[in-house]
Structure 1
């Protein structure tokens, strides 16, 4: 049977809603849509670029716990309520994905909390 393991970040949302930050299934890692909340303090910046950077820190921590890294990401999904917020985030996104070049999608949609300006979700492979 394939190993299945849930990775929790300590976000109150995971407990309240009933999901894991990431799920490891064999060599695959599925990271949930991750927002710019600092889960230690449950605070979020008003700035979309700072939110994107925090999303990536949260995702990086989940990937590391799963035995993976940004270098192993094969798909990334960007979810934003306002399409105009996407381009300002490109430099911080390129820092993690510029060399990796995962398959990517950007979608304009509503998010669960009006303070959230970007949500990022990734799929990766475990290499460790």
Structure 2
């Protein structure tokens, strides 16, 4: 079974991608950027961008019948090595109890210059579990 999670307020919608794809037993999230989920504005601060990423990821996973606790892999892109520690500190506050596998990459840039961090995750689909 394949199911798509889409939104009209994201870069994915503009370019024909789903925010997430549920393919039993996983939920694959497209890279999420640090836009404020309410105003769709991008804060300047990389820590706030990271917190916004996690808020959007949590909301998307909830809509996909999963949760942050189900994340098994996180891929994090930053546009400057100096952002690494503040981003990882913000990630640690959200993921310290979950401990997914993770990769941090420094990239030369993301699609828009105001984007300093992007996070992509893979999670287990809660409904796939039979405990």
**Off by >3 Å, runs of 4+ in structure 1:** none
Taking the aligned partners of 2:61 and 2:67, their CA distance within structure 1 comes to: 5
Counterpart contact for 2:7–2:13, Cα < 8 Å: no
Q: Distance in 2 between matches of 1:54 and 1:108?
A: 19
Alignment RMSD:
1.3
Q: CA deviation at 1:91?
A: 2.9
Which one of the candidate residues 6, 13, 18 is aligned to 2:16?
18
Match for residue 57 of structure 2? 59
Q: CA deviation at 1:46?
A: 0.3
What is the aligned partner in structure 2 of residue 88 from structure 1? 86
Q: CA deviation at 1:71?
A: 0.7
1:125 maps to: 124
Partner of 1:77: 75
- Consecutive unaligned residues of structure 1, counting only runs of 5 or more, are none
Structure 1 pair 54–75 and aligned structure 2 pair: CA distance change class (3 A): same
Q: Which deviations, in whole Å up to 9, do the C-alpha atoms of 1:19-52 show, x marking residues without a partner?
A: 0111101120001000001244221100000000
Corresponding residue number in structure 1 for 2:47: 49
More strand by share: 1
Q: Which residue of 1 aligns with 2:31?
A: 33
Aligned length: 126
Provide structure 2 residue ranges, at least 5 long, that are not aligned to the other structure: none
SS of the counterpart of 1:50?
A: helix
TM-score (norm 1): 0.92
Distance (Å, rounded) in 1 between the aligned partners of 2:126 and 2:13: 29
